[in-house]
Structure 1
Amino acid sequence: MEQKKNYIGLTDAQVLESRKKYGANILTPPEKDPWWKEFLEKFSDPLIIILLVAGVLSIGISFYEFFGLGQNWKVFFEPIGIFVAIGLATTLAFIFEQRANKAFQILNQVNDDELVEVMRNGTTTTIPRKDVVVGDIVIINTGDEIPADGELLDSVTLSVDESTLTGEPLCAKTIDPAHFDKEATYPSNHVMRGTKVMEGHGVMRVLKVGDATEMGKVFEEAQIDDSVKTPLNEQLDGLADWITNVSYGFAGLIIVGQLIHFLGWSNWQAWTLIVPVALFFWLVIKKFEDWSKAKCIFTIIGFFVLFFAMVIGAFSMIHAGADSTTWSLLLAHTLKTLMVAVTLIVVAVPEGLPMAVTLSLAYSMSRMLKTNNLVRKMHACETMGATTIICTDKTGTLTQNQMQVYKTNFFGEPSDEILYEGIAVNSTAQLDLTGDKPQVFGNPTEGALLLWLKEHNTDYKALRMNATRIEELPFTTERKYMATVVKSATGKNILYIKGAPEIIFAMCKNTCGVSKQEIDAQLLAYQNQAMRTLGFAYQELGDKDATIENGKIVADKLTFLGIVAISDPVRLDVPDAVNEVIAAGIKVKIVTGDTPGTAKEIGRQIGLWNDATDTDRNIITGVEFSELSDAQLRDRVGDLKIIARARPMDKKRLVEALQTNNEVVAVTGDGTNDAPALKTAHVGLSMGDGTSVAKEASDITIIDNSFSSIGRAVMWGRSLYKNIQRFLLFQLTVNVAACFLVLFGSFMGTESPLTVTQMLWVNLIMDTFGAMALASLPPSASVMNDKPRRREASILTRPMMTELLGVGLFFFALTLGFYWLFNHAEVTSITQMFSAVVGGENPMTAYEATLLFSIFVWTHFWYMFDARVFETGESIFKVKMSRGFWTIVGIIIIGQLFITEIAYEFFNVEPMLHTLDWHFNPTGAIDLLIIVSASSLVLWVREICRLFTKK
């Protein structure tokens, strides 16, 4: 293949013209369902359907009460309020889900922003994949993903994985018509978008972009991978099922208690209602999950018919000859009881859990991007927080990846012509010299050599133009060398080789008088300074000299040129970052292709390796690693800190051994050979300048390649888990108080302590808004002081359960006490309450209902602040709150005042700040002030306890 091709590429004007004519290189996703259809799907939940049906029946009863019994028009307020509350809850849930989904759309745009190497205006540069246009000259190397459909202009031992289009894992590509495969799906000199370069390199001219490509014709929108079941998913699913089943039990008891109380505890007919209720909820728990939707709806309808028939039958036997007004009260009470029971299930089931997780992930993903962590798969955010071991490569992650030639040792005084030409032509790297600072494209080690040529006033491009490449053997991790045969500018055919010095030296017949011991000593000295070394050799070829056969060098007259030491300093922030994750209980293991000496020195510099305490048991080479049996490896893997001279599959085997020992493993990698380990790990971390294959296999891309970014990812993951725990604590505390209050209240009075509309509002602020407030809290660096959590540990820790039951039952006892008082005394204000006369049963007034509702809401409102700082040991006044948290606080305050002061008739309460004829009510204002202030004791008591328990 000729190397004398000089590609200019498109000019800026030609790029604009091409994009205008052929479009951008973006795949248009298929149309989604319209928003209104997605919104209507929110009403397909069986519980919402039951509430809607019950709401319709409630409106029917209200019509009867208004037209048939002559009651005033206010009888319509409660059923209308129910529909408004259902609509508000479902609408807000829909809006929040849409917002979260938009935050995840970045995942589907990741590939469009990946950089592609192109020729533009006569120089090499990089552009986002989406900016590639028809006519662009694109340079492709091993590991790259082809950005568009194109025709090859140049290729060297090029093999492409076309399995994404044809199922063929390996297709040879060439520009030589003599080697075209006539049976190939696509021409042998064409490459297609979305396929991957597995070996070799080449140059292509873009023919088609975007939807016009073969990939565009069969494209289906890339969906977010939410199928992965992480430990958190499994914990939350199990917890939600348990809470749901318990809530069914509460609902059944409420239905039975309310109706027996209404019909009379001494009437046996009332007790028969236990049978259909118990049978129905048994079917719901045991059968509904396996039954079809139609069968479930049929069962629900059957229960309604049977239950109402039994209620009517029991009432007829107990109250023979009752008038229409009494019958109306019975039906209204029965319907209201069913709605209260269903609403309690809605409140009890933490529907905000998926939203809390989604919002936490969305918030974490967007913020992590600002810390150079591009999350590609949603489960990785949470799993990163559970990581116990990080297996990291060296170059670019621990080091600066700014390769520079530190020292050269050439022997035999080779001519500059031979030396410089060998470095220039036996390389795939490029330099971009258009900016203030030269930029390397391709292998950074090869780039360091090209920069060394530049320092010696040598133009590598001119050397490549003046030499014709005849044959090439690309570098692989197995061979550890690269070879190129060229027709030199001298007129001779020359074989140039570079690679691992010990391998190159062993291949040479002429060593220029240098012994192996001298070479080994020199290599050891460089490696102990954590330097990368390359050896160089060449051979002038005769007509019959063999060079390359079966992917190996067979030339037997090679001359050793010498050694180059290339340095790559440790990143300045890495030692602190490594110490941070080690202090957080996470072990770090270096997996590198470098020598043990180099790896140890890097380990020393970052604080991982200690000569005084670490032994040979803590380091191993790839050869020794492969000789270990699986049992031996599992026994030793926990002690390993460094694997040197690692081979491609060593890292994958290491990950599998660690996982067998129940470790949660994160792996970094940037090369195609890292893909198996990245896929196998719980979290794969690719580098920003890594290959497309590595990025495709990873879960998170570290944009700046720095290990300190990995530490920040751990902090975000742990903080995310803490946020979900705080939301659970808050939500379940509300559930405990609400469920027990409504249940016990059902056996104490004919009216539920909380109405349907009130409970739906509580569900909205404590579930939906609570999820938003506690899921979007900023991360705390203090989580790095904790140890990694055990995978099998429950998300509800012992301190959480203690707090949940203690606070929840206290709130229940408090509100139940007020409910009992309001049912046995006439209370007109909080200040008058202590002098109220307690007597027989006396149904709550609307104002008493307002007081009870307000007490319940405001105590839990203040507890949200306590949940925010749970287990932090910090004062609520010192902990940073997000802007989103304060926004939710404002919404809850305004919403609660709107309900009690403006929309009170829809919620079965009376205003506190004004009278019904809209005059200021000082008594009610004082009551509201007392409730808000007294309920804030929830916060102050915690602050006082913290002062006494603080170490």
Structure 2
Amino acid sequence: MSSKLEYPGLSDAEVRASREKYGENVLTPPARTPMWKLFLEKFSDPIIRILLVALLLSIAVAVYHVATGEAGMSALFEPAGIALAILLATVVGFLFEMSAARKFDILNQVNDDQPVKVVRDGHILEIPKRDVVVGDIVMLNAGDEIPADGVLLSAVSVQVNESSLTGEPMATKTTVEADFDKEATYPSNAVMNGSTMLGGYGVMRVTQVGDATEYGKVYTGSQIENNTQTPLDKQLNTLASFITKASYVIAAIILIARTAIYLSDHPVLDWLSFGSYLLSTAMIAVTVIVVAVPEGLPMSVTLSLAMSMKRMLANNNLVRKMHACETMGAATVICTDKTGTLTQNQMRVSEADFAYAPDSNTKEIIYEGIAANSTAHLDEGANGVMKVLGNPTEGALLLWLADQGVDYAALRNQAHVVEQLTFSTERKYMATVVDSPLLKHRVVYVKGAPEYVMNFCSQQITAQGLVPMESSRPAVEAKLLQYQNQAMRTLGFAYALVGDDEPYFVAGHLAPHIRLTFLGVTAIADPVRKEVPEAVAECLQAGIQVKIVTGDTPATAREIARQISLWKPEDGDRNIITGPEFANLDDKTLLERIPDLKVIARARPMDKERLVKLLQSQDEVVAVTGDGTNDAPALNAAQVGLSMGDGTSVAKEASDITIIDNSFGSITKAVLWGRSLYRNIQKFILFQMTINVAACLIVLIGAFLGTESPLTVTQMLWVNLIMDTFAALALASLPPDERVMRDKPRHLNDNIVTRAMGKGIIGTGIAFVLLLFGLLQYFKHVDVTSIAQFDLRLFFANFFNFTPVHEGLTRYELTLFFSIFVFLQFWNMFNAKAFGNVQSAFSRLNTCKGFLWVTLIILAGQILIVSLGGSLFSVTPLKPMDWVYIFAATSIVLWIGEIYRLIRRLVA
């Protein structure tokens, strides 16, 4: 073969020397954080840290009670419960992230063993990609993945898909310097690792391998950890700080006030007695700190995130980093690429402008011409989806034939090819001579740039018959202008009957004597995905800005923006910018311009990253989509990086979420899940902090009145189980609510506890304390054997009567108090479920199966504990009717909430 003589390739010795000097053609895998370190990172959560302090304090209190004989080993149940909450919150999150990592590794496998044709010692060999070395001569054909960076030694009609590096789905490559594209990202004779041959064939010499390639450099850079603090992290930090300060203030008040009271009552100080009293006071203060900490919050957050990870995977969102679930809900800007996300990443015929003359076989001629005059193929995969092999524009024509029910392969096989001119940028057209079974004659079929093809035509087929090309050309050109204004690629088609012995091509061009008949034009584009306009509209309605950042031309990018209803008729030059213009502006000017920008065309990798950082400097929460190696810097910089399922491994490594189906619609679902998840976390905080406020106030009142807690340690453990594990499960399992997409994004510095939540927590907490305190006062003055004998007048009459009739409460009274306390929480959980909207707590209850199951568990659990708990829980069985009275009476908590929500609905 001539290629072997012209390019003899490397010898075995040169291969070994090159590999030793430049290394293997493999990418250094990203450094994985050790599993033990990932697990320990879970303890960096601010609430977990508070819980760890609370655990130590709780152990100290338990040891004190056991040592003084005030309690048995059951005093250790409280610290055991806190320890369990810590472990569950950390272990669950760790296991879910490990599971996501395993799924991601399967999705992101890189094949370093794919075969590559190289020339060595004058022979063509097929070697694994990993064995390619600097200096190798590589043979490239349509469909091949370029294995390393190199320069073309020869090129015939080479077109390359460089979208993984530049975003460009098709770049023309040549070795002729006069034809070099001066605006191209990479030289026109350079081909890069990670790109794919779309058409033509060529020979390259390898100049860089492995990490030294452009692809490898970005891949290595993408491994930098994204340490951007998530909005939820910031808000939990703020909440943790507030809880810590509040609990310390209350503890200090108890220490100071009780010490002052003791000193005023004991003018003569007995240091031994005072020391014992001071230690007891310190234990009460520590108890307040322990009670104030919402130990179920980490569990709720973790369960909500874990459940969202699982459900988002069903919606084609593979979440790698757990907090990314929630962060998507806080997104204020989505910077999206165009190809493959907004569009289908498959060229299709948008319009076919052919006229079929009456009583003619024009349609069949067009079909045969498209099928025969092409080098592309279609491959129907196992899933029935057609995949184009070869030039995507030619593939679009074959897909159009398939849509017409035409078997292109059968037509191509029947039309014997005599001679062919492949498409080139110099000619601007392709021509194929075939023996046509349709026309029973030798035919030349031509397709290419319409303005070039029309120059060879003397007539055109119209609906009225044949007309001179001169008269029909203006109409064709008007149609072409219309298509080009819509950023579509146009192709013109023509044919001619030729003799068997005449020359068809002269000097690489159509012979001058051949005059063609023009058949018509097609407009080809990468169509917008069907679900995208609706998804974009939903984002805009939700207050999220959408900005298209693409390497494509301004005209194409603007047209896509128009098709998805992002670009409005009133938009102009201030709403679009090119990459070079963007790079030339200083940060101050850009910050003024960015709010208006909708499209950045001809964007380069650093443009996208700079855009993200500028937006973040304005407290925007930025999500970025990308599928190419060039997108990695921006994916890393964003609060949420969204890679595409068929994107490069570099993009996936740099991302937090992988959109498996590449659809913008899936991104919108991720926003829905994120917002719903955040709302669920707020619901749990509302629920638990209400109980914490009540518990703190009860301990505080008891500290000044000298009364002991009416709830035992084991009862509190059960209450904590309801507050923490069960309530977390119930509220975390609530399904997403479409209504959250009507809200505007929350501000980055917003407090997770809103003003409305604060009012609800304090108001309901105080109401619970007053009710429970009044209940204790009632039990101290009235001998209660059944809740049926409850007298509301005596309840209010004895509320401030601090001289009890009975020395202590009976076990039946304490059991009533315990059950009422639990059921107040039970009904308040329904109010928490309804938080965030004015709908009834019963709204969509049939879709909340997890919530319903948890309510049943709480009901059954409370009845079983009271009926069978005995001395372990310090309870005695209640009368059946007492259960009915408690259930009905405490439900007033829910009905008050329902009345409030009804009034809000009526007012709204």
Q: Say whether the fold is shared (TM-score over 0.5).
A: yes
In structure 2, the CA distance between the partners of 1:245 and 1:753, relative to structure 1 (3 Å rule), is farther
CA–CA distance in structure 2, aligned partners of residues 2 and 725 of structure 1:
73
- Written as runs of structure 1 = structure 2, the 5 A alignment for 1:612-631 is 613-631=570-588
* Shift in Å, 1:930: 2.3
CA–CA distance in structure 2, aligned partners of residues 626 and 558 of structure 1:
42
- Written as runs of structure 1 = structure 2, the 5 A alignment for 1:205-216 is none
- Written as runs of structure 1 = structure 2, the 5 A alignment for 1:487-636 is 524-532=481-489, 565-611=523-569, 613-636=570-593
What is the DSSP-based 3-state SS (H/G/I as helix, E as strand, rest coil) of the residue aligned with 1:566?
Answer: strand
CA–CA distance in structure 2, aligned partners of residues 28 and 614 of structure 1:
46
For structure 2, the 5+ residue unaligned runs are 5-28, 119-127, 141-145, 151-164, 166-191, 204-221, 354-368, 402-406, 433-447, 459-468, 494-506, 512-517
CA–CA distance in structure 2, aligned partners of residues 443 and 101 of structure 1:
46
Equivalent in 93, 99, 107 of residue 106 of structure 1: 99
The corresponding residue for 1:245 is: 245
Equivalent in 323, 329, 354 of residue 385 of structure 1: 329
Deviates more, 1:451-460 or 1:837-846: 451-460
Equivalent in 796, 799, 802 of residue 756 of structure 2: 799
Is contact 2:691–2:765 with CA below 8 Å preserved after alignment? yes
CA–CA distance in structure 2, aligned partners of residues 389 and 101 of structure 1:
29
Equivalent in 905, 908, 933 of residue 871 of structure 2: 905
The corresponding residue for 1:749 is: 706
* Shift in Å, 1:716: 0.9
The corresponding residue for 1:844 is: 808
Q: Residue type matched to 1:266 in 2?
A: D
Q: Residue type matched to 1:236 in 2?
A: L
The corresponding residue for 1:876 is: 841
The corresponding residue for 2:737 is: 780
Q: Residue type matched to 1:94 in 2?
A: L
Is contact 1:226–1:379 with CA below 8 Å preserved after alignment? no
Is contact 2:815–2:866 with CA below 8 Å preserved after alignment? yes
Is contact 2:349–2:522 with CA below 8 Å preserved after alignment? yes
**1:761 counterpart = 2:718:** yes
What is the DSSP-based 3-state SS (H/G/I as helix, E as strand, rest coil) of the residue aligned with 1:402?
Answer: coil
Equivalent in 910, 929, 943 of residue 898 of structure 2: 943
Q: Residue type matched to 1:246 in 2?
A: A
In structure 2, the CA distance between the partners of 1:559 and 1:352, relative to structure 1 (3 Å rule), is farther
CA–CA distance in structure 2, aligned partners of residues 845 and 629 of structure 1:
75
Is contact 1:85–1:760 with CA below 8 Å preserved after alignment? yes
In structure 2, the CA distance between the partners of 1:684 and 1:100, relative to structure 1 (3 Å rule), is closer
* Shift in Å, 1:84: 4.0
What is the DSSP-based 3-state SS (H/G/I as helix, E as strand, rest coil) of the residue aligned with 2:824?
Answer: helix
In structure 2, the CA distance between the partners of 1:512 and 1:347, relative to structure 1 (3 Å rule), is farther
The corresponding residue for 1:637 is: 594
- Written as runs of structure 1 = structure 2, the 5 A alignment for 1:333-352 is 341-352=285-296
For 1:316-337, what per-residue CA distance to the aligned partner results, in whole angstroms no more than 9, with x for missing partners? xxxxxxxxxxxxxx7xx98876
- Written as runs of structure 1 = structure 2, the 5 A alignment for 1:674-693 is 674-693=631-650
- Written as runs of structure 1 = structure 2, the 5 A alignment for 1:801-840 is 801-824=758-781, 826-834=783-791, 840=803
* Shift in Å, 1:707: 1.6
For 1:262-297, what per-residue CA distance to the aligned partner results, in whole angstroms no more than 9, with x for missing partners? x79611467x9xxxxxxxxxxxxxxxxxxxxxxxxx
For structure 1, the 5+ residue unaligned runs are 5-24, 63-74, 116-128, 141-147, 162-168, 170-195, 204-221, 273-309, 316-329, 410-417, 474-480, 489-499, 537-556, 914-921
In structure 2, the CA distance between the partners of 1:28 and 1:930, relative to structure 1 (3 Å rule), is same
Is contact 1:745–1:816 with CA below 8 Å preserved after alignment? no
TM-align CA RMSD? 5.3
For 1:158-200, what per-residue CA distance to the aligned partner results, in whole angstroms no more than 9, with x for missing partners? 4379xxxxxxx9xxxxxxxxxxxxxxxxxxxxxxxxxx94567
- Written as runs of structure 1 = structure 2, the 5 A alignment for 1:192-231 is 197=193, 228-231=228-231
Q: Residue type matched to 1:948 in 2?
A: I
- Written as runs of structure 1 = structure 2, the 5 A alignment for 1:56-135 is 56=63, 58-59=65-66, 61-62=68-69, 78-88=71-81, 90-91=83-84, 94-95=87-88, 97-114=90-107, 129=109
In structure 2, the CA distance between the partners of 1:395 and 1:772, relative to structure 1 (3 Å rule), is same
Equivalent in 715, 735, 738 of residue 692 of structure 2: 735
* Shift in Å, 1:391: 2.2
Is contact 1:365–1:374 with CA below 8 Å preserved after alignment? yes
The corresponding residue for 1:885 is: 851
Is contact 2:304–2:732 with CA below 8 Å preserved after alignment? yes
Aligned length: 719
In structure 2, the CA distance between the partners of 1:83 and 1:520, relative to structure 1 (3 Å rule), is farther
* Shift in Å, 1:816: 1.9
* Shift in Å, 1:731: 1.3
Equivalent in 883, 887, 900 of residue 932 of structure 1: 887
CA–CA distance in structure 2, aligned partners of residues 604 and 434 of structure 1:
35
For 1:119-165, what per-residue CA distance to the aligned partner results, in whole angstroms no more than 9, with x for missing partners? xxxxxxxxxx39x7x9775899xxxxxxx99434957674379xxxx
What is the DSSP-based 3-state SS (H/G/I as helix, E as strand, rest coil) of the residue aligned with 2:596?
Answer: coil
The corresponding residue for 1:542 is: none
For 1:682-730, what per-residue CA distance to the aligned partner results, in whole angstroms no more than 9, with x for missing partners? 2222222222222222222222222211111111111111111111111
Is contact 2:55–2:82 with CA below 8 Å preserved after alignment? no
What is the DSSP-based 3-state SS (H/G/I as helix, E as strand, rest coil) of the residue aligned with 1:374?
Answer: strand
Identity among equivalent positions (%) equals 47
Q: Residue type matched to 1:241 in 2?
A: S
For 1:462-513, what per-residue CA distance to the aligned partner results, in whole angstroms no more than 9, with x for missing partners? x9xx99x9xxx9xxxxxxx999xxxx9xxxxxxxxxxx999x99xxxx9999
For 1:363-399, what per-residue CA distance to the aligned partner results, in whole angstroms no more than 9, with x for missing partners? 1111111111122222322221122222222222222
Is contact 1:824–1:843 with CA below 8 Å preserved after alignment? no
Per the normalisation by structure 1, the TM-score is 0.64
Is contact 1:240–1:350 with CA below 8 Å preserved after alignment? no
In structure 2, the CA distance between the partners of 1:945 and 1:139, relative to structure 1 (3 Å rule), is farther
* Shift in Å, 1:862: 0.9
The corresponding residue for 1:266 is: 265
Q: Residue type matched to 1:455 in 2?
A: Y
**1:439 counterpart = 2:387:** yes
In structure 2, the CA distance between the partners of 1:865 and 1:365, relative to structure 1 (3 Å rule), is same
In structure 2, the CA distance between the partners of 1:792 and 1:693, relative to structure 1 (3 Å rule), is same
* Shift in Å, 1:619: 2.7
Is contact 1:604–1:610 with CA below 8 Å preserved after alignment? yes
* Shift in Å, 1:780: 0.3
- Written as runs of structure 1 = structure 2, the 5 A alignment for 1:297-336 is 312-314=272-274
The corresponding residue for 2:217 is: none
In structure 2, the CA distance between the partners of 1:28 and 1:739, relative to structure 1 (3 Å rule), is closer
In structure 2, the CA distance between the partners of 1:391 and 1:229, relative to structure 1 (3 Å rule), is closer
CA–CA distance in structure 1, aligned partners of residues 610 and 882 of structure 2:
68
Is contact 2:680–2:731 with CA below 8 Å preserved after alignment? yes
Q: Residue type matched to 1:151 in 2?
A: D
* Shift in Å, 1:874: 0.7
Equivalent in 664, 667, 670 of residue 710 of structure 1: 667
* Shift in Å, 1:643: 2.8
CA–CA distance in structure 2, aligned partners of residues 903 and 337 of structure 1:
31
Q: Residue type matched to 1:102 in 2?
A: L
CA–CA distance in structure 1, aligned partners of residues 674 and 850 of structure 2:
19
CA–CA distance in structure 1, aligned partners of residues 2 and 238 of structure 2:
64
Equivalent in 43, 55, 59 of residue 48 of structure 1: 55
* Shift in Å, 1:89: 5.1
Is contact 1:406–1:565 with CA below 8 Å preserved after alignment? yes
In structure 2, the CA distance between the partners of 1:903 and 1:98, relative to structure 1 (3 Å rule), is same
In structure 2, the CA distance between the partners of 1:92 and 1:681, relative to structure 1 (3 Å rule), is closer
In structure 2, the CA distance between the partners of 1:111 and 1:757, relative to structure 1 (3 Å rule), is closer
Q: Residue type matched to 2:73 in 1?
A: I
* Shift in Å, 1:782: 0.1
Q: Residue type matched to 1:876 in 2?
A: A
In structure 2, the CA distance between the partners of 1:874 and 1:223, relative to structure 1 (3 Å rule), is farther
**1:790 counterpart = 2:747:** yes
Deviates more, 1:895-904 or 1:766-775: 895-904
